[in-house]
Amino acid sequence: MNQSAGHSGSAEAQSGIVVRGVHRSFGDFVALEDIDLEVKPGGLTALLGPSGGGKSTLLRIIAGLDYPDRGAVEIGGRDATFLPPQRRSVGFVFQHYAAFKHLTTARNVAFGLEIRKRPRAEVHDRVAELLELVHLEQFADRLPSQLSGGQRQRMALARALAVQPEVLLLDEPFGALDAKVRKELRDWLRRLHDEVHVTTLFVTHDQEEALEVADEIVVISQGRIEQVGSPAQLYDHPANEFVMSFLGPVTRLGGVLVRPHDIEVLTDERAGAVQVEVTKLLRVGYEVRAETRAQDGSTPWVQLTRAQVAELDLAEGATVWLRPLVATPFPAGSPRAPEPVPA
Amino acid sequence: MVDVRTVAPAPVDARVRRARRRTTRTAWVLRLVAIGYVLALVALPVASVVQHTFADGLGPVWEVLTSDDFLAALRLTAVVAGIATLLNTVFGVGMGVLLVRYRFWGRRFVSAVIDLPVSISPIVVGVALILVYGTYGWFGGALEDAGFRVIFSVPGMVLATVLVSLPLVLREVVPTLEEAGIEQEQAAQSLGASAWQRFWRVTLPTIRWALAYGVALSLARSLGEFGAVRVVSGSVAGESQTLTLYVNDSYQEFGPDAQRQAFAAAFVLMAIAVALIVVIAALRPQEERS
């Protein structure tokens, strides 16, 4: 499929994105503060961060929909800083689809090819191929208003891929969809990228989405890059408290930030354990959250399974001891010395 | 009554039925008032024009409709209204894109000024045009020296008509452009479309129904314009007389022939207006659907 879809396979050199010293402010608000970033060719990279953190601004600057105050953008080794969007070879997918409402699904996908004045037969074949790729072949003659949100976004993706862009940029692509469809499209995007190895950069504020889909995650907050790495690196070895708390649930135990599922519950006192009283047991689906109160007034919580709760014979009001299962990468005022982070 | 109850699967409480009933007595009264008002104001005068037009049968009407003066007036009306609508369409779309897509200094001021000509009386518009383009106006003398006559000529009539229907296309196009947003155009841009291609392939199709509606409104207004055109035209029969001027001038003459001319021309104006209203009504649902 990757060959027939016409995208650079392993044979061709793939285009990466290089961002150098990009700065963008809107009045007093600094959206991006001297950002340096290299997006590796052929990968699926997530720009992850809270709303207003600057990730969408960065994506729009790479697409040419906005321009930096200073700094440079390179796409596929060429300087693109001042190129208009139509000359960047960039596919852009918007959160709200930006479907051409007056055109059918097939004509939407064909748009970029028609602009390039490709022969009619070639356009027809390529559109058919792409519609198959995004599983919309039976919807070719529908108008966008007759498609569901998920279908519209798949159409938008096919439309962006039709012109064989060097890089594909997605701005919160699943943000407007309901939870179930979002999850489906996530898996689908992952599989699609395995077929069509185009360098892809997508913006999301959903850490689960980034962890599940991306090869590499760039965490951005307040206009700065906090950390770049693989999902496992970021989750296990976050560079700072912000990254750790943004990537998953955290709780504070004895002054140290830990993941609530990385806490051991003991029924007797042992070295390094903190004595707490269980204040509440909360069932959430398959997990049980045990909220506790320590003697220093802090309220750590633990994520447990129902089996664990039964085994420990845990009840509200019980006194137990909590101990972190894994070493915390940074001390944050903890009495325990941090262990060296393995490379 | 008993039969009805046994047929109905589940009898609904009378109070529920009353509460659900949408047409109350008040609604009926309001409807009658509305219908009566429209009949008295619109239907009766229209019917009486039709009746007067065809009082002596089709023959005399046909005679008027084929007379030189009437045909000249019809042609002039078509030319003036056609050019004015064309200018307003180009202006309306261009200005609409400018006002919605760009933020510039004086934008709100420009937007307000565009509404001014339709807000002031057409007579004032006409007088103002003479003050500027008349023989003794600001530019009039210079233009006449260059061999270009504005007032008492077609350009002046077009200008007057353009002014009185200036914002009609613009005001239809702006909300649609605002609602459509800029993302479709940005998507087209990232797919390689130039500014011109984006306009023809994305912007124009997006606003097409609003544009058609605005054009129909503008055309109707242009065809019916009287006051401003009256001031700047001079209203010479066969030369600078539009249909509305023809109706007015004929009506003010004495004699049954002149009256008949007035009614026949009025009927034609009305028929065109009705045709346009049908077009507009047909366009409305299209616009709402898209």
Q: What percent of chain B has pLDDT over 70?
A: 94
Per-residue model confidence (pLDDT) at position A329: 64
Residue of B nearest to A157 (CA): B187
Q: Mark whether A156 and A268 lie in a shared domain.
A: no
Per-residue model confidence (pLDDT) at position B254: 80
Establish if A286 belongs to a structural domain. Answer: yes
B81-94 mean pLDDT: 96
Contacts of A102 in chain B (CB under 8 A): 205-206, 208, 290
Nearest CA-CA partner of A17 in A79, A85, A84 = A79
Q: Mark whether A160 and A267 lie in a shared domain.
A: no
Partner B contacted by A115 (CB < 8 A): yes
Per-residue model confidence (pLDDT) at position A9: 41
B127-155 mean pLDDT: 85
Q: How many CB atoms lie within 10 A of CB B184?
A: 22
Q: What are the φ and ψ backbone dihedral angles of A272, each rounded to 5 degrees?
A: 80, 0
Q: What percent of chain A has pLDDT over 90?
A: 64
Label residue A215 exposed, middle or buried (CB < 10 Å: 0-12, 13-18, 19+): middle
Judge contact between A165 and A90, C-beta under 8 A.
yes
Per-residue pLDDT tens over the stretch A144-188: 999 999 999 999 999 999 999 999 999 999 888 888 888 888 988
Per-residue model confidence (pLDDT) at position B20: 79
Instruction: Kindly report the average pLDDT of chain A as a whole number.
Output: 87
Per-residue model confidence (pLDDT) at position B139: 80
Instruction: Kindly report the average pLDDT of chain B as a whole number.
Output: 88
Q: Mark whether A89 and A207 lie in a shared domain.
A: yes
Q: Mark whether A209 and A320 lie in a shared domain.
A: no
Would the pLDDT of B200 be above 60? yes
Q: Mark whether A179 and A306 lie in a shared domain.
A: no
Rg (CA), chain B: 26
Would the pLDDT of B209 be above 50? yes
Cα–Cα distance, A145 to A147 (Å, whole number): 6
Per-residue pLDDT tens over the stretch B213-243: 999 999 999 999 999 999 998 877 778 889 9
Judge contact between B229 and B237, C-beta under 8 A.
no
Residue of A nearest to B186 (CA): A65
Establish if A1 belongs to a structural domain. Answer: no
Partner B contacted by A272 (CB < 8 A): no
Would the pLDDT of A335 be above 70? no
Judge contact between B80 and B164, C-beta under 8 A.
no
Contacts of A99 in chain B (CB under 8 A): 184
Mutation site for B-interface testing, chosen from A111, A159, A164 by largest number of B Cβ within 10 Å: A111
Alpha helices in chain B (DSSP H): 2-7, 14-20, 25-38, 44-53, 58-65, 68-101, 107-119, 122-133, 140-145, 154-164, 168-180, 183-190, 195-198, 204-224, 227-233, 243-252, 256-289
Q: Mark whether A263 and A229 lie in a shared domain.
A: no
Alpha-carbon torsion B216, B222, B226, B228, what sign? positive
Residues in chain B: 290
Per-residue model confidence (pLDDT) at position B288: 54
Q: Which pairs count as long-range contacts for A135-140, CB under 8 Å and 24+ apart, including other chains?
A: A136/A105, A139/A105, A140/A104, A140/A105, A140/A106
Cα–Cα distance, A161 to A31 (Å, whole number): 29
CATH of the domain at A274: 2.40.50.140
Partner A contacted by B190 (CB < 8 A): yes
Partner A contacted by B187 (CB < 8 A): yes
Partner B contacted by A156 (CB < 8 A): yes
Q: What percent of chain A has pLDDT over 70?
A: 92
Q: How confident is the model at residue A328 (pLDDT cuts 50, 70, 90)?
A: low
Residue contact B187–A116, C-beta within 8 A: no
B171-178 mean pLDDT: 94
B79-85 mean pLDDT: 96
Partner B contacted by A84 (CB < 8 A): yes
Establish if A337 belongs to a structural domain. Answer: no
DSSP result, A301-319: EEEEEHHHHHHHT--TT-E
Q: What are the φ and ψ backbone dihedral angles of A263, each rounded to 5 degrees?
A: -120, 135
CA atoms within 13 A on the CB side of A124: 3
Mutation site for A-interface testing, chosen from B176, B183, B185, B190 by largest number of A Cβ within 10 Å: B190
SS3 at position A81? coil
Which CATH superfamily groups domain B57-289? MetI-like (1.10.3720.10)
Residue at a domain's end among A217, A242, A267: A242
Partner A contacted by B66 (CB < 8 A): no
Which ipTM value was assigned to this complex?
0.82
Per-residue model confidence (pLDDT) at position A213: 92
**Which B residues 197-216 touch A at CB under 8 Å?**
197, 201-202, 205-206, 208
Would the pLDDT of A18 be above 80? yes
Contacts of B184 in chain A (CB under 8 A): 98-101
Contacts of B200 in chain A (CB under 8 A): none
Q: How many CB atoms lie within 10 A of CB A234?
A: 28
CATH of the domain at A51: 3.40.50.300
Cα–Cα distance, A11 to B273 (Å, whole number): 68
Residue of A nearest to B205 (CA): A102
B184: nearest CB among A85, A100, A163: A100
Residue at a domain's end among A201, A216, A242: A242
Residue at a domain's end among A242, A275, A290: A242
A202-210 mean pLDDT: 93
Cα–Cα distance, B86 to A209 (Å, whole number): 52
Mutation site for A-interface testing, chosen from B191, B201, B209 by largest number of A Cβ within 10 Å: B191
A115 in the Ramachandran plot: left (φ > 0), alpha (ψ -120 to 50) or beta? alpha
Residue type, B105: W
Per-residue model confidence (pLDDT) at position B287: 56
Would the pLDDT of A255 be above 90? no
Establish if A223 belongs to a structural domain. Answer: yes
Contacts of B192 in chain A (CB under 8 A): 86-87, 112, 115-116, 163
What residues make up the domain containing A262?
Answer: 257-324
Q: Mark whether A26 and A115 lie in a shared domain.
A: yes
Alpha-carbon torsion A336, A337, A340, A341, what sign? positive
Q: Mark whether A262 and A237 lie in a shared domain.
A: no
Judge contact between B211 and B89, C-beta under 8 A.
yes
Return all residues near B236 (Cβ < 8 A) that are at least 6 apart.
none
Q: Mark whether A34 and A80 lie in a shared domain.
A: yes
Partner A contacted by B290 (CB < 8 A): yes
Q: Mark whether A238 and A262 lie in a shared domain.
A: no
Establish if A88 belongs to a structural domain. Answer: yes
Judge contact between A241 and A332, C-beta under 8 A.
yes
Judge contact between B173 and B214, C-beta under 8 A.
yes
SS3 at position B250? helix
Question: Given strand A319-324, what is the order of strands in its sheet?
Answer: A263-266, A319-324, A274-284, A287-294, A301-305
Domains in chain A: how many in total? 2
Would the pLDDT of A218 be above 90? yes
Per-residue model confidence (pLDDT) at position A204: 94
Q: Mark whether A227 and A282 lie in a shared domain.
A: no
Would the pLDDT of B145 be above 50? yes
Partner B contacted by A86 (CB < 8 A): yes
A44-48 and A216-221 strand pairing: parallel
Judge contact between B128 and B227, C-beta under 8 A.
no
Return all residues near B20 (Cβ < 8 A) that are at least 6 apart.
none
Q: Mark whether A229 and A284 lie in a shared domain.
A: no
Per-residue model confidence (pLDDT) at position B29: 92
